[in-house]
Amino acid sequence: MSIHDINVPAWMAKAACTPKDTAIFFLDNSSGLEAKAICRRCPVAETCLAYALEIEEAHPGSRWGVYGGVTARQRRILASKKKKAIA
């Protein structure tokens, strides 16, 4: 299977990160500042964040990278707050 075999959501074509070196979005030791700066000017940042939260809810333990301007740690906090609000 290659990367070209994966179904990519159509909104991703509009993402500000599409033409960038995506490695900056997945560096473990990074605060994500460079990635977050790109996300701030992205027209689909909210959709991207919602996508990440949905994937992570369906596949616990899959949090990595910066999506929608939010790091994996920040998304974990968001998800925890959401669960507490629902309970």
Residue 8 forms part of a structural domain: no
Hey, is 51 helix, strand or coil? helix
What domain range includes position 20? 13-86
Please state, in angstroms and as integers, the Cα–Cα distance from residue 82 to each residue in 12, 75, 76, 87, following that order. 25, 10, 10, 9
Residue 60 forms part of a structural domain: yes
Residue 68 forms part of a structural domain: yes
Residue 4 forms part of a structural domain: no
Predicted pLDDT at 87: 66
Distance, in Å, from the CA atom of 82 to the CA atom of 17, rounded to the nearest integer, reads 27
Residue 6 forms part of a structural domain: no
Total domains, the chain: 1
Q: Which amino acid is at 30?
A: S
Residue 76 forms part of a structural domain: yes
Predicted pLDDT at 2: 43
Please state, in angstroms and as integers, the Cα–Cα distance from residue 16 to each residue in 2, 48, 74, 87, following that order. 23, 11, 20, 36
Residue 53 forms part of a structural domain: yes
Q: What is the mean pLDDT of each run of 10 residues along the chain (87 residues)?
A: 63 90 78 90 96 87 88 90 80
